Amino acid sequence: MDPLHIRTPLLRSGPLSGFSGTSIWLKMEALQPSGSFKIRGIGLACSERIRQGARSLVSSSGGNAGIAVAYSGDQLGVPVTVVVPATTTDTARERISSHGAEVIVEGSSWNEAHEHALALAGDGAAYIHPFDDPLIWRGHSTLIDEIAASGLEPDVIVASVGGAGLLCGILEGLHRNSWEHIPVIAVETQGADSLHQAVESGRLVELAAITSIATSLGSKRVCARALRWTSEHEIHSVVVTDASAVDSCLRFVTDHGVLVEPACGASLSTVYEPLDLLKENRDVLIVVCGGVGVTLEQLETWRDTL
Ligand SMILES: *Cc1c(COP(=O)(O)O)cnc(C)c1O
């Protein structure tokens, strides 16, 4: 069966390269049919579960994972229920229901929505985890295969981290393509820095609360596989402010005409507010992970209030 994701453009950014003095390459996951990279892993996981006999799909999500499950269910012709925390924006909720899925609001954080979704699963309804599943990582890893096939070998890869499914997929893809030597810069926002705290303390840490506005990065704990990867691969954990993530989204709209969430702005901010780590590199690849749970107005309000 054909995958549910598309092969996204890989662009050398004129504005960002000019600004930073290095070649900045953009893997445009914002252009996926679900608006973010999530459809890669989630599309694969949904297809596999249906192939194995599931008759419906259940998801819990801060937005983009739910949208990806809703999109997948629509494409595969099965019903979908998505449980979201109250923090999920109206835009994201509408986007989920626009694919014909049922939206249930439960709890104030992803963890609570997750518990409720788990209770709904079983009896032919397959629960699709937003990040902690080897099938999800395998699906996400296809983005590295596409970069390898393009002929570009980046010196470093920058990607945002929530529950770290994307990070695990990137690492799986790097190792499969014999790119073990390419370092990864893993970016989180303050108040959603569950990987950073885990790396600092050498064990999985559960954050007391998510205080960042980058709700798509708002997993209180990263998957265990991600922490193990930090001792098997060169991974630099970086934490940026919400304000610089938002500012980077606004600058990116001006530079590329593409609207992304602060979760993605966090990665872009390593160029707009240049990170020393990036300076010695010639070809920097940014995973423009996307996200549709935001409007231009919302970004401007955050800019004025943060
Ligand atoms: C889900 C998401 C992330 C984080 O991905 P994880 O696999 O949870 O680490 C980053 N950016 C966007 C836009 C997302 O939707």
The arrangement of secondary structure in 38-128, i.e. its CATH architecture, is: 3-Layer(aba) Sandwich (3.40)
Shortest CA distance to 241 belongs to which of 173, 192, 184, 198?
A: 192
Give the pLDDT score at 302: 97
Torsion of CA 16, 244, 287, 270, to 10 degrees: 60
Helix (H, G, I), strand (E, B) or coil at 10: strand
| Among 28, 33, 27, CA closest to 6 | 33
CB atoms within 10 A of CB 209: 10
Q: What is the CATH number of domain 10-36+134-305?
A: 3.40.50.1100
CB-CB contact of 39 with 65 (8 Å): no
Domain parsing of the chain, residue ranges: 10-36+134-305, 38-128
Q: Is the CB of 68 under 6 A from ligand 1?
A: no
Ligand 1 centre to CA of 15 (Å) is 25
Distance CA 216, CA 157 (A): 20
DSSP state of 57: E
262 lines ligand 1 (CB under 6 A): no
Asked if domains 10-36+134-305 and 38-128 share a fold, the reply is yes
**Which atom of ligand 1 is nearest the CA belonging to 291?**
13
List the chain pLDDT tens, one digit each, 306 residues: 789 999 999 999 999 999 999 999 999 999 999 999 999 999 999 999 999 999 999 998 868 999 999 999 999 999 999 998 887 878 778 889 999 999 999 998 777 888 999 999 998 999 999 999 999 999 999 999 999 999 999 999 999 999 999 999 999 999 999 999 999 999 999 999 999 999 999 999 999 999 999 989 988 999 999 999 999 999 999 999 999 999 999 999 999 999 999 999 999 999 999 998 888 899 999 999 999 888 999 999 999 999
- The CB of 88 under 6 Å from ligand 1? The reply is no
HSE-up of residue 263 (Cα within 13 Å, Cβ side): 28
185 CA to centre of ligand 1 in angstroms: 14
Nearest ligand 1 atom to the CA of 260 is 13
Distances from the Cα of 258 to the Cαs of 13, 81, 87, 121, 271, in angstroms? 13, 29, 24, 36, 16
Helix-helix angle 134-150:165-176, to 10 degrees:
50
Query: What separation in Å is there between the alpha carbon of 41 and the centre of ligand 1?
Result: 11
Centroid of ligand 1 to alpha carbon of 216 (angstroms):
6
List the one residue out of 162, 187, 170, 185 whose CA is nearest residue 266: 187
